[in-house]
Amino acid sequence: MATSRRRSGSITALSLGYLESKKNLAGSAGGVVGVGLALTGVAGGLWPLVVAGLYAAGALIAPPERVTPPEFDPSEQLGVLREDFLRLREYLAEVELPPAAGGKLTELLELYERLLDPGWVADVLAADPESVHVLSRAVRTDVPESVDTYNRARWWNRLQPGTVPPERHLERQLSALFDEAERLTAGLHEVETRRQQTHTTYLEERGRS
């Protein structure tokens, strides 16, 4: 019974939606023209077909209904990213790393933390989807992948010594990620600098006028 009521409600909603749609309104306008032709005798005995044809023509040429895209709150995206960052830190706390790589990783995580810390810095970050994507990729993929591949390569290196030490690759990967994070930070700083310059220009021009 409940399913039947839901289906009935859905059909009713669809029917009401179509009645209010642009296609139905345009088709109805065409149908009215067809009725007018029928009343004046222009359509002759084929007036039902004329009315139906004009209705269909009006419905076809009417623009499609615009579906409003969903709005995503950037702050909510950062909230989820912060949770993933905490999970990453919990994972890294249980991993043993060589001193050099461990120090570079600590610097990297501190930089991520400052960017994600709730406040105006995070607001600037949230306004730049590309920066959010870069940081999300680093937290969710790049850092855990770097550490995990190091741990696996270290085990194989014990069986086959003499190859490039896996900690060197790890250090290079973390250095690359740190450079990327610094570029991201510099880009956000540039945005704020341009904003300040724009406001200065506005105030000076307003003063002249």
Please state the domain count of the chain.
2
Kindly tell me if the per-residue pLDDT of 24 is higher than 60.
no
Same domain membership, residue 197 and residue 110: yes
DSSP per residue, 144-192: HHHHHHHHHHHHHHHHSTTS--HHHHHHHHHHHHHHHHHHHHHHHHHHH
Q: Average pLDDT, stretch 116-131?
A: 90
Q: Which residues fall within 8 angstroms of residue 181, CB to CB, at 6 or more apart?
A: 108, 111, 112, 115, 135, 138
Expressed as residue numbers, the domain containing 19 is: 2-61
What is the gyration radius of the CA atoms in the chain, in angstroms? 32
pTM over 0.75: no
95 vs 108: CA distance, rounded Å: 16
| pLDDT confidence of residue 208 | 85
| pLDDT confidence of residue 44 | 56
Same domain membership, residue 163 and residue 191: yes
Structure-block tokens of residue 185: 């930070």
**174-197, pLDDT tens digit by residue?**
999 999 999 999 999 998 999 899
Q: Average pLDDT, stretch 4-10?
A: 50
Q: Do the beta carbons of residue 85 and residue 111 sit within 8 Å? A: no
| 66 located within any domain | no
Question: Cα 48 from chain centroid?
Answer: 51
| pLDDT confidence of residue 113 | 95
| pLDDT confidence of residue 14 | 45
Mean pLDDT, rounded, of the chain? 78
Q: Average pLDDT, stretch 24-49?
A: 57
| pLDDT confidence of residue 19 | 45
Longest dimension (CA), the chain: 99
Q: Do the beta carbons of residue 33 and residue 57 sit within 8 Å? A: no
Domain boundary among 61, 84, 108: 61
178 vs 195: CA distance, rounded Å: 26
| 123 located within any domain | yes
Comparison of pLDDT for 86 and 53, the residue scoring more: 86
| pLDDT confidence of residue 62 | 57
Comparison of pLDDT for 70 and 191, the residue scoring more: 191
Same domain membership, residue 47 and residue 140: no
| pLDDT confidence of residue 13 | 45
Mark out the alpha helices in the chain (DSSP H runs). Answer: 2-19, 22-39, 47-61, 74-93, 99-116, 120-126, 129-137, 143-159, 166-208
Q: What is the DSSP letter of 21?
A: S
Comparison of pLDDT for 11 and 158, the residue scoring more: 158
Using the structure block, give the residue that is written with the tokens 């995990």. Answer: 148
| pLDDT confidence of residue 16 | 46
Q: Average pLDDT, stretch 71-96?
A: 87
Same domain membership, residue 172 and residue 83: yes
